[in-house]
Copies of this chain bind each other. A is one copy, B any other.
Amino acid sequence: MAEKITPRSQDFSKWYQDVVLQARLADYSPVKGCMVIRPNGYSIWEQIQKDLDRRIKETGARNSYFPLFIPESFLKKEAEHVEGFAPQCAVVTHAGGKELEEKLIVRPTSETIINSMFAKWIQSYRDLPLMINQWANVVRWEMRTRLFLRTTEFLWQEGHTCHATHEESEQEARKMIGVYAQFAEEVLAMPVIPGKKSESEKFAGALHTYCIEAMMQDKKALQAGTSHNLSTHFAEAFNTLFLDKDGKQKAVHQTSWGVSTRLIGGMIMTHSDDKGLVLPPRLAETHVVIVPILSQSESKSRVLEAAEKLALQIRDQGEKSNLPYRVRVDIDQDETKQPGWKFHEYELLGIPYRIELGPRDLDKGQVVMTRRDLGKKEFVLLEEVPMRVMEGLDAMQKALLERARSFKDVNTFRVESYSEFQQKLDEPGGFFIAPWCESAQCEARVKEETKATIRCLPLDESFLPIREAGKCMVCNGSGSSVRAVFARAY
């Protein structure tokens, strides 16, 4: 009954949609641009939340919850912010059967409502740093949506911190982009380029924005997380002031940082294949599925018993292992489905290990094991299975990262001239590193003519954009240039 997945080579965008829908990760909803995250997809979000939440708390931030609604006047207090977000807002005009005196915006992000509270809670330098995070839904009205990658409503975490000095907020903004980069690589097995956004691409209201950019299998870029140094922009608009040690009232220096359910889309487009989802073991709800071959009634109970014993042994081995998660094992005892159907199904769902256990294998004291990313059947002695699973899960997590890393590296090119860039952008495609003079005109020209954008400016050890000897790829100007990563992006 399984539908066919469009091959990546044929239509990458259709392939992505096929994987998401057929693996039942998400579905379109009757509300324009809003998606439904189905249990198979939501369990990935739960794994992301659990791991990232721990990392965020280790930085000292604590979770909180702020209102969904923002009074319209709040959004208007920071000029750049309202300009950036107003066109995307959903507006509540009526409630409780009456027209509201002041319209309420469904939060597109929470800097404004949170600052209205920070201003109340912060009095002195003793109250700083103040670091909070919230896991929440946000709404940004989008014209073109795509499951997980760009939806009108999405789930995310947004951190908001207040500091006494510019140095501290800068430190925090940098630290968090590092946390995201490490998380993306360790958990999503998704290599990223950390960098700084150009002025035109930074967050509306920020002094500057750091980001992580990942390369999808179609060689397009995906912005996977951002961290903003907000300076005192919102603090000044909201009077978020503190009495410093020197007895002076000062505006706090702030950061905000977030990642969203978009990460799930990025993870899918990094690892999955024409058979369906490929899930890094650290994101899997089920790591191993045992498919007992129950076709012969005389061997059925013997096979089932062996499957149950094996499942226990694998779980036990998991408890003793160093893996940073509990190894979860399922046995598929459904007799209304054929083993061949099940194999396809578990490939589609991205379960890291599939183990077939039939009566003949059992007689030989072996099973057939298949690691999802390798897809090759292996005969393994029963007693060796638990250890092999642990090794394989660990190896798979690393292999996915390495494969994605080399894909990104192979498809990242140094270009010196605009014509070379234009030649290579369609074919072979990829990320293009080139010198840029930092003028908005050159940046806009590239975007207009090629639909590629500056994804980020890679940073040196001091977190400054790397300076290049070369002349700007676009204008060939003689001033100093920075190194920029150009690519088409989601």
The chain A residues found within 8 Å of chain B, CB to CB, are: 27, 29-31, 34-39, 42-43, 45-46, 62-71, 74, 86-97, 104, 106, 113, 116-117, 120-121, 126, 132, 136-137, 139, 141, 143, 153, 155, 336
Which of B65, B90, B139, B155 is within 8 Å of A155, CB to CB?
B65
| Given A36-B65, A69-B153, A90-B104, 4 new contacts (CB under 8 A) | A35-B67, A39-B64, A68-B106, A92-B92
Cα A90 to Cα B67 in complex, Å, equals 14
B residues less than 8 Å from A117 (CB atoms): 27, 29, 36
Cα A342 to Cα B419 in complex, Å, equals 69
Q: Name which residue of chain B comes closest to A24, CB basis.
A: B121
Interface centre among A71, A90, A117, A143 (most CB of B within 10 A): A90
B residues less than 8 Å from A92 (CB atoms): 90-93, 106
Quick one: given A39-B63, A63-B43, A63-B46, are A31 and B71 in contact (CB under 8 Å)?
Answer: yes
What are 10 A-to-B residue pairs whose CB atoms are below 8 Å? Answer: A29-B66, A29-B113, A39-B62, A42-B62, A68-B106, A68-B137, A88-B96, A90-B92, A90-B95, A92-B92
B residues less than 8 Å from A336 (CB atoms): 126
Interface centre among A31, A43, A126, A137 (most CB of B within 10 A): A31
Which of B34, B67, B71, B94 is within 8 Å of A69, CB to CB?
B34
Tell me if A141 and B36 are in contact (CB < 8 A): no
How near does chain B come to A40, taking the closest CB pair, in angstroms? 8
Tell me if B116 and A67 are in contact (CB < 8 A): no
B residues less than 8 Å from A116 (CB atoms): 29-30
Tell me if A95 and B104 are in contact (CB < 8 A): no
Tell me if A42 and B65 are in contact (CB < 8 A): yes
How near does chain B come to A38, taking the closest CB pair, in angstroms? 6
Quick one: given A91-B95, A93-B94, A96-B141, are A38 and B64 in contact (CB under 8 Å)?
Answer: yes
Tell me if A34 and B68 are in contact (CB < 8 A): yes
Which of B63, B70, B106 is within 8 Å of A42, CB to CB?
B63
Cα A39 to Cα B46 in complex, Å, equals 21
Q: Name which residue of chain B comes closest to A101, CB basis.
A: B32
B residues less than 8 Å from A34 (CB atoms): 67-69
Tell me if B30 and A71 are in contact (CB < 8 A): yes
Quick one: given A42-B64, A106-B106, are A89 and B93 in contact (CB under 8 Å)?
Answer: no
B residues less than 8 Å from A74 (CB atoms): 30
Tell me if B96 and A66 are in contact (CB < 8 A): no
Cα A67 to Cα B147 in complex, Å, equals 13
Q: Name which residue of chain B comes closest to A120, CB basis.
A: B27
B residues less than 8 Å from A39 (CB atoms): 62-64, 132
Cα A474 to Cα B39 in complex, Å, equals 49
B residues less than 8 Å from A62 (CB atoms): 39, 42-43
